[in-house]
Structure 1
Amino acid sequence: MTHIPHPDSPAITVTCAVVTVSDTRSPETDKSGQLIQELLCNANHSVEAYTIVKDEPMQIHEQMELLGKHPSLDVLIFNGGTGIASRDTTYDTIENLLEKILPGFGELFRFLSYQEIGSRAIASRAVAGVYQQKLIFSLPGSSNAVRLAMEKLILPELVHLVGQLRK
């Protein structure tokens, strides 16, 4: 059961961008990116941009800067590259750009992951924060992890968090 401390503003549609960070996925094989888009649309939010970038710090950085300047976007959701393998550079790149970090997101995500997958949850470096007045989420590339983050954390709080940024 989810406890909502106070009601959110009704009828706010959040405009999002979805970025998959992967050296191997294509739009046809990007199940996690497709899932994020589907869940956002089912919750009556819009996906204005979708792309796949290689797990290269410069490409991730450039994508974040480009989308950060996009005036109609409220939220950027990245997936992939949050582990500890040598090619996993998403966390390092994004965390260095965030102007504010929402530590509770990563903490709660790892707690919920632990309940599903056990101690392997410690390897996740999921992070959220604010960049250029946009809400940023960086999730693992696993579809199960994406579904968990979207359904349990992101979608229940998206309208509230975007409302806070708009104040």
Structure 2
Amino acid sequence: MSEATEQHREAAPDKVRISVLTISDTRTEDTDTGGDAIEELMTAAGHEVVSRSIVRDEADLIRDRITTLLADPDVDAVVTTGGTGISGRDTTYEVAESMIDKQLDGFGEIFRMLSYEEVGAAAMLSRATAGAVGTKFLACLPGSRNAVRLAVEKLLAPEIAHVVFELKRHAGKEG
């Protein structure tokens, strides 16, 4: 790890305030295993889940909910689960892409690489994505509990504080 990365991680907040949004036409509070996994793993990593909600896989509903969550001053990041596949009902990716100012291409690339090790070529069907929406972080994960666990354990939990630090550090600055 570079010295600069190490310094940024040390300066990063101890905890990130996260809203978890499940995107599904069928999940309920009782069956939201993806949302449960995000909350469990992020809390175990020392972060705070400030809200959880479920929205149907309808582009306008998803956009409205993400916009509302990101506007909350008590939220640093929104992590979604569901709607990132390629079926006709999956619209999370299109909504996220239209909202993200700065794409973190490496997130999706690394996620699919890690997923490939577990599920083989089917990993290419995932459109997991992440990026900056202003000074907030948006990460969109698949609906599968195993995929959520992989993304949170290997990518989000270890790096989300650094990402949030970078977004806030450059708030109002170009470059």
Q: Give the TM-score band, short-chain normalised.
A: over 0.9
Map of 2:55 onto structure 1? 53
Cα distance in 1, alignment partners of residues 83 and 143 from structure 2: 7
Q: Following TM superposition, by how much is the alpha carbon of 1:9 offset from its aligned partner in structure 2, in angstroms?
A: 2.5
CA RMSD of aligned residues (A): 1.3
Map of 1:73 onto structure 2? 75
Kept in 2, the 8 Å contact 1:9–1:159? The answer is no
TM-score by length of 2: 0.91
Q: Following TM superposition, by how much is the alpha carbon of 1:44 offset from its aligned partner in structure 2, in angstroms?
A: 1.2
Cα distance in 1, alignment partners of residues 82 and 103 from structure 2: 19
Map of 1:9 onto structure 2? 10
Bigger helix share: 2
Q: Give the partner amino acid of 1:9.
A: E
Cα distance in 2, alignment partners of residues 58 and 17 from structure 1: 18
Map of 2:172 onto structure 1? none
Cα distance in 1, alignment partners of residues 10 and 137 from structure 2: 17
Cα distance in 2, alignment partners of residues 148 and 13 from structure 1: 20
Q: Following TM superposition, by how much is the alpha carbon of 1:132 offset from its aligned partner in structure 2, in angstroms?
A: 3.1
Map of 2:98 onto structure 1? 96
Given the alignment of the two structures, is residue 150 of structure 1 paired with residue 152 of structure 2, yes or no?
yes
**Structure 1 residue ranges, 4+ long, deviating more than 3 angstroms after superposition:** none
Given the alignment of the two structures, is residue 122 of structure 1 paired with residue 119 of structure 2, yes or no?
no
Cα distance in 1, alignment partners of residues 17 and 33 from structure 2: 21
Q: Give the partner amino acid of 1:6.
A: E
Cα distance in 2, alignment partners of residues 68 and 136 from structure 1: 8
Q: Give the partner amino acid of 2:18.
A: C
Q: Following TM superposition, by how much is the alpha carbon of 1:12 offset from its aligned partner in structure 2, in angstroms?
A: 1.7
Map of 1:83 onto structure 2? 85
TM-score by length of 1: 0.95
- Unpaired segments ≥5 residues, structure 1: none
Map of 1:27 onto structure 2? 29
CA-to-partner distance for each residue in 1:85-140, whole Å, 9 max, x for gaps? 00000101111111110000000000111111000011000000011311110000
Q: Following TM superposition, by how much is the alpha carbon of 1:158 offset from its aligned partner in structure 2, in angstroms?
A: 1.0
- Unpaired segments ≥5 residues, structure 2: 170-175
Kept in 2, the 8 Å contact 1:126–1:139? The answer is yes
Q: Following TM superposition, by how much is the alpha carbon of 1:22 offset from its aligned partner in structure 2, in angstroms?
A: 0.3
SS state at 2:10 partner: coil
Kept in 1, the 8 Å contact 2:17–2:50? The answer is yes
Q: 1:62 aligns with which of 55, 64, 68?
A: 64
Map of 1:109 onto structure 2? 111
